Chain A
C-alpha cells in the first residue's frame, strides 16, 4: 500500500483548534533521503502541520504514515523512538539545563550513551562544544538554534523536522545554520523543513509545497517553484515586470 521509497506520507489531514479549522485536508509525502520544504505566510498552518506529524496535536481526520506504519494516533513520545525528530519553532531548548544535558535529552530514547553522534555534532556545530557546560538559557539566539538542531539529531533520526530554523537570526548565522542542515542531510537523514526564508529553503530542498490558509496550493521541485512567477511574487519578493 505504501511505496517503500516514501518515508513520510500525509493523507488528507484535517486539524482543528476547537471550532477553527487550521488544516483543511492536506496531502504530502517525503521520500527517503530527500529535503522537502513547506512554504507559506504566517498563519498558513505550517507549524500546525509539523506539530500534528510529530504527534503533539491530534488530527480530526486523515492519516499519517511513517516508515510504513500508521502513526496517526501514536503519542509524540513514542514517535521519536521510531526515528522522527522535531526541532520546534522558537527553539525550545531547556534553559536551565546545560548544553550537554540538552544534548543528552535529545538521545533520551537511545539505550546507550552515544559519544559518536555527540562528537559528530560538536564537529559540525563547534560552538556547542565550547559551551557545553553553560546553561542553554545563557546562549545567544543563534547558539540556541544550533543546540536545538543538535539536540534533534542526537536520537539518530531517519526524518528530521525543522520548524523555522532561521527565525530571528542574523544573516551570517542563518548561513551557518543552513550549512549544518546540508551537512546533516548529506549523511542520509531525510529533512522536512518549514522556513520563512523561502529562497534559502528552496536552494537547500529537492521539492517544496506551498501552504495557504490550511491548503496546499502549489507543489513541485525546488526549481519549478523558484521559477514560478506566482511563487516569486508571493514568497521571493520579486515584483511583476
Chain B
C-alpha cells in the first residue's frame, strides 16, 4: 500500500509537468492545427537558460525566495519571446501552405533549438544546484513527499486553474476558443487572429518554461536532448486527453504521469515507455479523438 501511495505522489508530480508541457501542444494545435514539435526543445532551453540565470546572478548570494521567483519569471519571459519568434519565423510564413510543410518546419525548428543548446552549453549533462528549494522532506505515514514535489504540485495546479478560468471566463479566452473553431468567422468579429496566435505561443511557451525549470530542479541533471523525451511524453498526454482540448491536456498529463509511476513501481521503469505507447494505442483504438476530445460535432 505504501508503494502504491508513494507512486501516486511521484506520478502526480511528473504528471503535472507533463500536463504543463501538454498544454502548449494542445493550445497550438487547437488554434492552428499544427503539432509544434519544437515545443519540447523550448522546455529544454528553459532548463538551461534558467540554470545560467540562477548561477550567474545568484551564485554567491545563496538562495532565497526572491532569487527563485526571479529565475522563474525571467526564464518564462525569455522562453515566451523565443516561442513568439518561433511562430513568426517558422510557422507564420507557412500559414497557408499544406500542413505537412508546417510539420516539417516544426521538426526543423526543434533541431535548430536543440543544436543551439548543445553549441551554447555543450554536449555534457549539466547539474542543477540542490539549494534552489529547501531539502525538507515530509513523511506522512510512510509516504514521502519532498518540498520540491509539493511546489510542483501546488504551482502547476494554480497555473492550470488560472489558465482554465482565463480561457473560459474572459473575453480574450473566449476569442481564443472562437479562433480555434473558425478563423474566418473570428476575423469577422473583429478578432485579430495573429494577435491571438501570439498570445497562445506566449502562454504555451511560458508554461513549458515553468515545466522545464521544475524538471531541472526535480531531476537535477539536464541534457541538451532532454526536450525530445519530455516533449514526446507530453505530446502523447495531449493526444490521450484529446488534442486541442485544454482540460484534456491536463487530464492526459496527470493520467500518463500516474500510469508511468505505477508501471515503474510495480513492473520496472525500463518498461515505462513501452507501456506509455501501449496505452496510447489502446486509447486511440477506442477513443480516436482522445478521452475528452470533440465535445460537439458542428452542424453544417
Give A residues with C-beta under 8 Å from B: 54-56, 75-78, 80-81, 85-88, 90, 92-97, 101, 104-106, 108-109, 135, 137-139, 141, 144, 151-152, 155
**Contacts of B65 on A, CB cut-off 8 Å?**
none
Q: Does B190 contact A (CB under 8 A)?
A: yes
21 sampled A-B residue pairs with Cβ under 8 A: A56-B184, A77-B190, A77-B191, A78-B190, A81-B190, A85-B188, A92-B184, A94-B177, A94-B181, A95-B296, A95-B297, A95-B298, A95-B299, A104-B171, A104-B174, A105-B186, A105-B189, A108-B171, A135-B295, A141-B299, A151-B189
State the CA gap A200–B185 with chains docked (Å): 26
* CB–CB A96/B190 < 8 A: no
Q: Does B300 contact A (CB under 8 A)?
A: yes
**Contacts of B298 on A, CB cut-off 8 Å?**
95-96, 137
Contact of B185 among A88, A101, A137, A138 (CB under 8 A): A88
Q: Which residue of B lies closest to A80 (CB)?
A: B190
Least CB distance from A169 to B in Å reads 13
**Contacts of B184 on A, CB cut-off 8 Å?**
56, 88, 92
Contact of B188 among A56, A95, A101, A141 (CB under 8 A): A56
**Contacts of A54 on B, CB cut-off 8 Å?**
188
**Contacts of A92 on B, CB cut-off 8 Å?**
182, 184-185, 188
Number of A-B residue pairs having CB atoms within 8 Å of each other in the complex: 83
Query: B60-79: which residues lie under 8 A (CB-CB) from chain A?
Result: none
State the CA gap A96–B297 with chains docked (Å): 9
Least CB distance from A26 to B in Å reads 21
Number of interface residues of B (CB under 8 A): 23
6 closest A-B pairs by CB: A80-B190, A109-B190, A95-B298, A92-B185, A76-B187, A137-B296
Given contacts A137-B297, A144-B299, contact A95 B181 (CB under 8 A): yes
**Contacts of B181 on A, CB cut-off 8 Å?**
94-97
State the CA gap A81–B174 with chains docked (Å): 18
* CB–CB B185/A96 < 8 A: no
**Contacts of A151 on B, CB cut-off 8 Å?**
189
Q: Does B272 contact A (CB under 8 A)?
A: no
Least CB distance from A202 to B in Å reads 26
* 14 other A-B residue contacts (CB within 8 Å) besides A77-B193, A105-B189: A54-B188, A76-B187, A86-B188, A88-B185, A94-B181, A94-B185, A95-B297, A96-B181, A97-B174, A97-B177, A97-B181, A108-B175, A139-B299, A155-B190
**Contacts of B191 on A, CB cut-off 8 Å?**
77, 105, 108
Q: Does B130 contact A (CB under 8 A)?
A: no
State the CA gap A149–B284 with chains docked (Å): 39
State the CA gap A152–B192 with chains docked (Å): 16
State the CA gap A87–B184 with chains docked (Å): 11
**Contacts of A109 on B, CB cut-off 8 Å?**
189-190
Q: Does B178 contact A (CB under 8 A)?
A: yes
State the CA gap A97–B295 with chains docked (Å): 11
**Contacts of A85 on B, CB cut-off 8 Å?**
188
Least CB distance from B240 to A in Å reads 20
* CB–CB B192/A77 < 8 A: yes
Contact of A77 among B177, B187, B297 (CB under 8 A): B187
**Contacts of B187 on A, CB cut-off 8 Å?**
55-56, 75-77
State the CA gap A76–B298 with chains docked (Å): 24
Task: Mark B175-205 against chain A: 1 for CB-CB distance below 8 A, else 0.
Answer: 1011001101111111111000000000000
* CB–CB A90/B300 < 8 A: yes
* CB–CB A94/B296 < 8 A: no
Q: Which residue of A lies closest to B181 (CB)?
A: A94
**Contacts of B192 on A, CB cut-off 8 Å?**
75, 77
**Contacts of A78 on B, CB cut-off 8 Å?**
190
Least CB distance from A1 to B in Å reads 27
Least CB distance from A64 to B in Å reads 16
Q: Which residue of B lies closest to A93 (CB)?
A: B185
Contact of A94 among B178, B190, B193, B295 (CB under 8 A): B178
**Contacts of B193 on A, CB cut-off 8 Å?**
77
